[in-house]
Amino acid sequence: MAEENTQSGLCEICMIKARKRFGQNFLCDQNVVRRILSAIAPQQGQNIVEIGPGFGALTESVLAIVGSMHAVEIDRDLIPELIDACSACGDLVVHQADALEFDFCSLVASVNKLRVIGNLPYNISSPLLFHLLEQIDCIVDMHFMLQKEVVDRIVATPGVKNYGRLSVMLQYFCVCEKLFEVSPQSFRPAPKVDSAILRLVPHAEILTPAHDVKNLELVVKTAFNQRRKTLANSLKTLLTVAQMQAVDVDASMRPERLTVEQFVKLANCL
């Protein structure tokens, strides 16, 4: 009961203080916090960083288990209350910074790679994911709350309507798993969209590696820019039909039917 009262008081503050420009929809549902916590399964001593801790809905529970962790928060006005809320749980190192520019690898000492978590600001989720992919070598896994539609795109398989650039690039680097959905009522203020929890675990080894990831990005972006066209058409500025045939890719296919491995093979022709 005491937990419920504290929670409802906090949720009222969330309604008053939420800033749209920072994508602030604060988690106010203890059942969802518990489910996320059990999905992350933090362990003492792990190197964890939370992106956008807000008032600490998730931070408090994770910190109480790991003992110390990092948080990257852009909104300086939230930080005193965050620190206050977490002071009894452990050592929280708050970096007041834009996660889009943050050097996550700077938090990794020796072999203790990072676990990255967060209820992400939905307005910057795609660029943030690409920023994290650039630092994937420092990361052991990631658990994020994202807009459900974005999670569905990330985990989509070839042949499915929402398979696209996000699916190919994220799946190239990671095993992508949708864990569960969260309704707008779990947040204050309630967002206009449904949410879902995503787990990303970098592949231990990429079986068909791209010679240059920039080429993979270019081929994927160019193909999906005109997703209704055949590869022969959409990729004609980059590759000939003969080059596609040489790596067993049917140039009359549309990009949504290509596997990640086939995209890599095309990129490796550049």
Copy the structure tokens of residue 21. 């420009």
Nearer to ligand SAM, 23 or 158 (CB): 23
Applying CB under 6 A, which of residues 92, 99, 107, 169 lies at the interface with ligand SAM? 99
Show the site string, 176-205: x = touches ligand SAM by CB under 6 A, - = not: ------------------------------
Q: Is 31 left (phi over 0), alpha (psi -120 to 50) or beta?
A: alpha
Distance of alpha carbon 94 from the chain centroid:
20
Q: Is 48 in the site for ligand SAM (CB under 6 A)?
A: no
Task: State in angstroms the smallest separation of the CB of 52 from ligand SAM.
Answer: 2
Rounded Cα distance, 109 and 113, in Å: 8
Q: How many CB atoms lie within 10 A of CB 4?
A: 9
Copy the structure tokens of residue 74. 């852009």
Task: State in angstroms the smallest separation of the CB of 223 from ligand SAM.
Answer: 29
Copy the structure tokens of residue 258. 């290509």
Q: Is 98 in the site for ligand SAM (CB under 6 A)?
A: yes
Which span sits near ligand SAM by CB under 6 A: 45-53, 61-69, 136-144, 258-266?
45-53
Show the site string, 200-239: x = touches ligand SAM by CB under 6 A, - = not: ----------------------------------------
Q: How, if at all, do strands 139-147 and 91-96 pair?
A: unpaired
12: amino acid identity, one letter: E
Rounded Cα distance, 126 and 133, in Å: 11
Q: Is 74 in the site for ligand SAM (CB under 6 A)?
A: yes
Q: Of 11-40, which residues contact ligand SAM (CB under 6 A)? A: 22-27
Applying CB under 6 A, which of residues 58, 129, 169, 174 lies at the interface with ligand SAM? 58
Q: Is 200 left (phi over 0), alpha (psi -120 to 50) or beta?
A: beta
Nearer to ligand SAM, 52 or 255 (CB): 52
